Chains A and B, each alone.
Chain A
């Protein structure tokens, strides 16, 4: 904004020395360009290749055959038995994890801020820890130590109440994966929302309290509006990562039984690296990009202004 006031009048002068001086004073483009160029290449080259591959017949098992087939790959991908389960599982997974992490994230961080109690620092550290555990570890720990129908903790709890232990990953595969992924991402929401709550003006809160507002009214009219931006941040970042959930499925259910826990990411992996059908996988990849972009447009619209207004 500052530069616009400093700008010379809009008259184009052929005075080269003056312009050179201005450029010397602002090394901007020269310093940004490596990052921008690399990101541009990183985005455009693979995307261009994906678009091209999605339009040709390309299977690694049949080299040399690259006939142009138009939208045939998309047709095959969309009519594939795994497509609709993959789509609905992706949306269910992203939606449920977002819902769980935002709702519980708000509640838990409000709980932490509600009172001073012994060991609050430790509680905070315990709460955010799962976020730092690598995805393959959390998936396998849940699979073998928590969900296992014989020796898992949940089996022991079920037996304690006289119920028959459940083979979670076999009978409720998607729910189990939602639980594992939520366990990883709820701490992220807590981390962000807790910090945001601490920056809420205490005097404002105290003033509201003196005016006779109850804790619920304060939470609803003061805390929640203050959290709008951090919640939007949580939703945006989590959406980016949740659309590509892969390791958790790869190490626990391999997408099964059937397609019960296959999401788009796993379906594409399956077609590209297990069935070697590059064309089909590329069509799937583009559909994933399309979904992400729809989400991104909505979110950036919501957030864009918020983020850059410091």
Chain B
């Protein structure tokens, strides 16, 4: 017979095993991608699938030569950072005034901003495409920076707003009484206090920009194409390419995956518009 304590421990062990099993199943595609990236093409295509093989770095060493990886990676970096900085530049003053100079319209305004995210991208694809064509911005980094800034702006404003809301108003009022201008108030007092929150907002925005794949596929072809588009170009079969595809995918996802792991707690807040902390 099991004592109560023993049966509790057994139950806990079984639940833990189940949780590990679920996690391994969900993670398996990523694990398999990384594993395949170290195989030769022959091993990658072998049946039954190979778990043990002689690893090779060949796929990684030839990525640059085969698909000009750095060109696309640079586009991803420039576009993601550009859009993130621009949206923060717009969002910081807006969030400041909503958090510290609240009026009766503030809540309505916040919800309205959120509602602009409800406009599905496909609904405005055609005009954006034609406007971009008209202004000769198709396949330019500038265009993607502008589009990403606008699609992420509501989320960035919301997230910064919820961080600002946690800061006691007295601190800013003290600065104001000391004669600080609004600009000094934001830059000298508010930003240093809120830098943690702003950093996580940046991280969330970077992740969203890096992984965006609707506008990048429709508005770029080669010049400004980021990594999402490079990977999409692998969709047409070109002989044995499983291992190469895995290598390029692993490289494209690794930085964001690590960002995500580091900032999971803070992301929840941004992604739920401050509703879950």
Are the CB atoms of A273 and B218 closer together than 8 Å?
yes
Interface size on B, residues (CB 8 A): 103
Q: Decide if A3 touches B103 in the complex (CB within 8 Å).
A: yes
Tell whether, in the assembled complex, residue B218 and residue A134 are in contact, meaning their CB atoms are under 8 Å apart: no
A45 to B29, CA, bound (A): 41
B127–A247 CB distance below 8 A: no
| Contact B257–A132 (Cβ < 8 Å) | yes
B150 on the A face (CB < 8 A): yes
Please give the distance in Å from A200's CB to the nearest CB on chain B: 12
A234 CB → nearest B CB, Å: 8
B179 at the interface (CB under 8 A from A): no
Assess whether A142 is in contact with B29, with CB atoms less than 8 Å apart: yes
CB neighbours of A126 from chain B (8 A): 23-24, 26-27
Q: Are A265 and B93 in contact (CB under 8 A)?
A: no
> B33 at interface (Cβ–Cβ under 8 A)?
yes
| Cβ–Cβ < 8 Å partners of B19 in chain A | 108, 111-112, 117, 120, 123
Interface residue B55 (Cβ < 8 Å from any Cβ of A): no
Asked if B261 lies at the interface with its beta carbon under 8 angstroms from chain A, I say yes
Residues of A within 8 A of B150 (CB): 38-39, 42
Q: Please tell me if the beta carbons of B118 and A292 are within 8 angstroms of each other in the complex.
A: yes
Instruction: Please judge, given known A-B contacts A3-B104, A135-B211, whether A289 and B123 are in contact too, CB under 8 Å.
Output: yes
In the complex, B246 has a CB within 8 A of chain A: yes
For B49, the chain A residues whose CB sits under 8 A away are 151, 153, 156
Asked whether A134 lies within 8 Å of B253 as measured between CB atoms, the reply is: yes
Per-residue CB contact flags for chain B residues 147-188 toward chain A (1 = under 8 Å, else 0) read 000100110010000100100000000000000001000000
Chain B residues closer than 8 Å to A79, beta-carbon distance: none
Q: Quick check: A2 and B102 within 8 Å, CB to CB?
A: yes
Select which of A31, A125, A293, A296 is within 8 A of B97 by beta carbon: A31
A134, B109: Cα distance in complex, Å? 31
Tell me the chain A residues, 233-258 only, with Cβ under 8 Å from chain B.
233, 237, 240, 243-244, 246-247, 250-252
Interface size bracket, A side: 35 or more
Interface residues of B in 206-233 (CB under 8 A from A): 207, 210-211, 213-214, 217-218, 227-229, 231-232
B72-123 residues with Cβ-Cβ distance < 8 A to A are 90-91, 93-94, 96-98, 101-104, 107, 109-111, 113-123
A91 adjacent to chain B (CB < 8 Å) = no
Contact with B122, one of A38, A140, A285, A307 (Cβ below 8 angstroms): A285
**Is B115 a contact of A50 with CB atoms below 8 Å?**
no
A133 to B207, CA, bound (A): 10
In the complex, what's the smallest C-beta–C-beta distance from A167 to chain B, in angstroms?
14
B33 / chain A contacts, CB cutoff of 8 Å:
137, 141, 145
B26, B102, B131, B252: which contacts A134 (Cβ < 8 A)? B252
Partner of A32, one of B15, B47, B48, B109: B109
Q: Are B231 and A123 in contact (CB under 8 A)?
A: no
Residue interface mask A27-59, B partner, CB < 8 A = 1: 111111011101100110111011001000000
**Chain B residues with a Cβ under 8 A of chain A:** 11-13, 15-20, 22-24, 26-30, 32-33, 36, 44-49, 90-91, 93-94, 96-98, 101-104, 107, 109-111, 113-131, 150, 153-154, 157, 162, 165, 182, 207, 210-211, 213-214, 217-218, 227-229, 231-232, 234-235, 242, 245-246, 249, 252-253, 256-257, 259-261, 264-265, 267-268, 271-277
- 7 other contacts beyond A150-B45, A272-B125, with CB at 8 A cut-off? A27-B97, A31-B182, A126-B27, A143-B235, A191-B264, A233-B273, A246-B121
